[in-house]
Structure 1
Amino acid sequence: MFGLSDLFALIISAFIILPVVIFLREAGYLIISGIFGVRNPRLTIGSGPRLLKIGMFDLRKYYHVYSWFSYDSLKRESRFAYISIYAGPILINLTLAVTLNALIANGMLQEYKTFWERLIFYAFYYVLFDTIPMITLNGKPNNGMIIYEMLRYGKRVDYNTEPIIPATSDVEEQYHEEMKEIEKVMEENRKETEE
């Protein structure tokens, strides 16, 4: 039976654990791409209007699940570089989950064991769905599919012309266009309510 303690656990999972796992997943791209000399990296958390932008971190107003990493170019492009970048989220969540699991198995982190076990669950969840090669709902390959295609064919073969990791410059331009549209709609709504 779903009780008050389950509701509290759900809130903790949705608004603390899941955002941390998602941030670390996206940071996996950032960390690995830094090794290969990425230019103009950006880690965007959430969607909608910008709340805060500090250096390469861009925090948006709405839900954290829609988060992404972007960059303009790599200094050292190669098949190995792209495979490594797409493996970054898998590796960071796998490392997190295995490390926390080992700590719990060795009697550490016992005070908040349930919290850490949920974090391990979500980390493995993302590892699973990032690793198994598949095409997502929007027709784009997941990281596992990209890695598979890069290993097998040396390139993406999904015939999708959009980049999986968008260019930061393009993302910024799109953001400003979306904000202009939102402001236009808000202005129209304001005028309608005044009449």
Structure 2
Amino acid sequence: MTVRKGSETILFGISDLFALIISSFIIIPVTVFIREFGYLPVTYLFGVKNPRITIGSGPSVYMFGVFDIRKYYHMYSWFSFDDIKRKSNFAYIMVYASPILTNTLFALTLNTLIANGFLEDQARFWNRFIFYAFFYVLIDAVPMLMTNGKPNNGMIIYELIRYGKRVDYCEDDIIPSTTQVDNDYEEEMKIIEEKKEKIEKEKHGISEETSESVEKEAVQRQLAEDVQDASEELSKEKGSD
């Protein structure tokens, strides 16, 4: 946003900073959640197994139903499932098209409400929702390869329609398996706990080698004390004899 103040031009003002914060911490995360939630009703139609919507990242703090709430909240949410009972190209096309359709419906609904005089007082706020909803529609719908050659939903839909199967060289699942997500989570938490323990030891000036040597010294000291106690007992017994 450009604001003119006399001969001076301000390219980025306080109001823009406030709008950026609102977009980063409210609008984008909610839009991403709506996108991921779009998978759920469609997959239920085809008999989804073990669906999960994970919100945020890091350690899990609360789970209810299909929702897994993580500790670090931002714009990171994803949908996962293990399998679908009624498998067909049409089923998979509908699954991959579901976030596109959901965000499109969400944006058009908001746009219609604003155009008909509703939400006028907060029109600027809701217009940002419309902008980011269509942004994710664009990213999803236009066929393209993403990170490490992984196809987006649009590319998967294109391949299924044209070839009847995936033909890209990426072997990763586009929608992750819930079971695999749980296994990866357990491994990550195990690694994190190990690193935490290591950091705590380093904070107290105890390295792993020092810790091991301290344990050995403690065992040796205990053995020496046990030997000494045993010797004293034997001496007492001989003296009494």
Q: Assess if the C-alpha contact under 8 Å between 2:110 and 2:126 holds in 1.
A: yes
Query: Is there any run of 5+ residues in structure 1 with no aligned partner, and where?
Result: none
1:127 aligns with 2:127: no
In 1, the alpha carbon distance for the partners of 2:171 and 2:188 equals: 22
Mapped to 2, the partners of 1:110 and 1:184 lie a distance apart of 53
Q: Which position in structure 1 is the counterpart of 2:40?
A: 30
Q: 1:157 aligns with which of 167, 171, 187?
A: 167
Q: CA deviation at 1:194?
A: 0.5
Show the 5 A alignment for 1:169-180: 169-180=179-190
Q: Write the distance in 2 (CA, Å) between the matches of 1:116 and 1:92.
A: 16
Distance in 2 between residues matched to 1:138 and 1:69, nearest whole Å:
20
Partner SS for 1:144: helix
**Amino acid in the other structure paired with 1:32:** V
Looking at structure 1, the residues matched to 25 and 76 of structure 2 have their Cα atoms a distance apart, in angstroms, of: 13
Number of residue pairs matched by the alignment? 195
Deviation of the 1:124 alpha carbon: 0.3
Alignment equivalent of 1:56, drawn from 63, 66, 74: 66
1:71 paired with 2:58, answer no
Match of 1:39 in 2: 49
Of the structure 1 ranges 60-69 and 171-180, higher mean CA displacement relative to structure 2 is found in 60-69
Distance (Å, rounded) in 1 between the aligned partners of 2:61 and 2:116: 41
Give me the whole-angstrom Cα distance separating, in 1, the residues matched to 2:74 and 2:17.
20
Cα RMSD after superposing both structures? 1.0
- Report 1:134-145 matches (<5 A): 134-145=144-155
CA offset at residue 52 of structure 1? 1.5
Contact 2:29 2:76 in 1 (8 A): no
Q: What SS is found at the alignment partner of 1:65? A: strand
Following the alignment from structure 1 to structure 2, what is the Cα–Cα distance between the partners of residues 150 and 63? 34
Aligned equivalent of 1:147: 157
Equivalent of 1:90 in 80, 95, 100: 100
| CA apart distance, 1:63 | 4.5
Distance in structure 2 (CA, Å) of the matches to 1:80 and 1:59: 31
Normalized against structure 1, the TM-score is what?
0.97
Mapped contact 2:145–2:152 kept (Cα < 8 A): yes
| Structure 1 CA distance for aligned equivalents of residues 88 and 191 of structure 2 | 38
The structure showing larger relative contact order (alpha-carbon pairs under 8 Å, at least 6 residues apart) is 1
SS at match of 2:166: coil
Q: How many percent identity over aligned positions?
A: 62
Provide closer, same or farther for how the CA distance between residues 34 and 64 of structure 1 changes in structure 2, counting only shifts above 3 A. Answer: farther
Aligned residue type for 1:129: I
- Given that 2:25 and 2:75 are in contact with CA atoms closer than 8 Å, whether structure 1 keeps it comes out as no
SS at match of 1:163: coil
Which one has a bigger Cα radius of gyration? 2
Q: Residue 125 of structure 2 aligns with which residue? A: 115
How high is the TM-score relative to the length of structure 2?
Answer: 0.79
